[in-house]
Amino acid sequence: MHVPRDGRTPLVVVRKENSGRSDAVNVGINAASEQLVAMIDGDSILEPDALLHVTRPFADDPTRMVATGGAIRPVNGSKVVSGRIVRVEMARTWLPRIQVVEYLRAFLLGRTGWSRLNSLILISGAFGLFRRDVVVEVGGLDTHSIGEDFELVLRIHKHLSDAGRDYRVQFVPEPVSWTEVPSTLRVLRNQRRRWHRGLWETLWAYRGMLFRRRYGRVGWLALPYYWVFELCAPLLELFGLVLVPLALALQLVDGTYAGLLLLLAYAYAVLVTLAAMLVDEWAFHKHERWRAIGITIAASVLENLGYRQLTVWWRLEGWWASLRGRAQVWGVMTRTGFDEEAA
């Protein structure tokens, strides 16, 4: 452990052997002395006022607020000077560009909606703020979980609901943590397999919360949604990808009708993405160039032409690996680094 020589600077650096992210974060929580603890990935960049925004709900509702999460955005292609984002740009290749579309939907629409319903059950491990006493009370991060961020938030929900305590978990869209997203298919595959395996193992571990009155909207709304539309979605989509061509080959369905239905489904997916983009531009306007909007629209279309089908298969690989009891593997997450300039 290292402390400043002047004895005044509020900074303590703890050095330990590599034993995984969860264990390292738990050590930091134990060493912390303040009421709030922030969990932030080491390869992320916070906006200058991010911590001010993400702590505001605690000031507004100090007795009930137990956790808040900020937005995560891909930094690929943006200009970084001395650890700060000075110009937001789109990535140069289409793989990270499509991930920008995914992140917009997930955070600006998905988590904002769940937060408004007081049913937020996932705070990204890349940027979350927690009451330290609550995290210590529930035992910190589970070092054996591959979806440790999701598992922690669900454990907090269960623990506080079981105790009959009034509490809040909230998403705050203003603060942003910029992170590097995978730029190769191999790295993206490792990430999506890990994410879906963590989703399955956590949902299964907390299956007892489903449709239980004491867990309110979390048990009756959020968890059933995650089971059907997050966990089982790739299985259903794969079933459709196999069944529809087979039915067409056997002339069991009308080709024109099937084509129109497929067009409608993908048009709806693009529409949801465009809605997220419009919300982002109206509320935050991170991109200064109109070219970025055109790229986002193109990415929302290209996402459905191969990318979506690949992620379906990768997510099923992660689920299958867990069902077979294969050892958890984090996977190599190769980083190319930020496009950084000297100050």
pLDDT digits (tens, 9 = 90+) for 203-260: 999 999 999 999 999 999 999 999 999 999 999 999 988 988 898 888 888 888 888 9
pLDDT in tens, 142-195: 999 999 999 999 999 999 999 999 999 999 998 889 999 999 999 999 999 999
Asked if the structure places residue 14 within a domain, the reply is no
Q: How far apart are the first and last CA of the chain?
A: 30
Hey, what are 203's tokens? 């949902």
Query: Long-range contacts made by residues 184-189, C-beta under 8 angstroms, separation at least 24?
Result: 184/95, 184/334, 185/95, 185/310, 187/331, 187/332, 187/333, 187/334, 188/95, 188/99, 188/311, 188/314, 189/310, 189/314, 189/317
State the pTM of this model.
0.92
pLDDT in tens, 69-112: 999 999 999 999 988 888 888 999 999 999 999 999 999 889 99
What is the pLDDT, as a whole number, of residue 7? 75
Hey, what are 282's tokens? 């109206």
Q: How many CA atoms lie within 13 A of 191 on its CB side?
A: 15
- Is the pLDDT at 343 greater than 60, yes or no? no
* CATH classification of the domain holding 123: 3.90.550
Any idea what the Cα angle at residue 65 is, between residues 160 and 113, rounded to 5°?
95
What is the pLDDT, as a whole number, of residue 338? 61
Asked if the structure places residue 141 within a domain, the reply is yes
- For the segment 195-201, the average pLDDT, to the nearest whole number, is 97
Asked if the structure places residue 12 within a domain, the reply is no
Asked if the structure places residue 282 within a domain, the reply is yes
Domain with 133, as residue range(s), is 34-325
Asked if the structure places residue 199 within a domain, the reply is yes
d(C-alpha 198, C-alpha 329), whole Å: 11
Q: How many domains does the chain have?
A: 1
Q: Minimal CA–CA distance to 83: which of 187, 197, 178?
A: 178
pLDDT band at 339 (very low <50, low <70, confident <90, very high): low
Strand order in the sheet with 79-81: 84-87, 79-81, 339-341
What is the pLDDT, as a whole number, of residue 20? 87
The four Cα atoms 239, 317, 201, 96 give a dihedral, to 10 degrees, of -100
What is the pLDDT, as a whole number, of residue 130? 98
pLDDT in tens, 282-329: 888 787 777 888 998 999 999 999 999 999 999 999 999 999 988 776
- Is the pLDDT at 342 greater than 50, yes or no? no
Q: Average pLDDT over the chain, rounded to whole?
A: 91
pLDDT band at 279 (very low <50, low <70, confident <90, very high): confident
Q: 172 vs 42, which has greater pLDDT?
A: 172
The one-letter amino acid code at 300 reads S
| Bridge partner list, 84 | 81
DSSP 60: H
d(C-alpha 182, C-alpha 180), whole Å: 7
Asked if the structure places residue 17 within a domain, the reply is no
Asked if the structure places residue 298 within a domain, the reply is yes
Asked if the structure places residue 335 within a domain, the reply is no
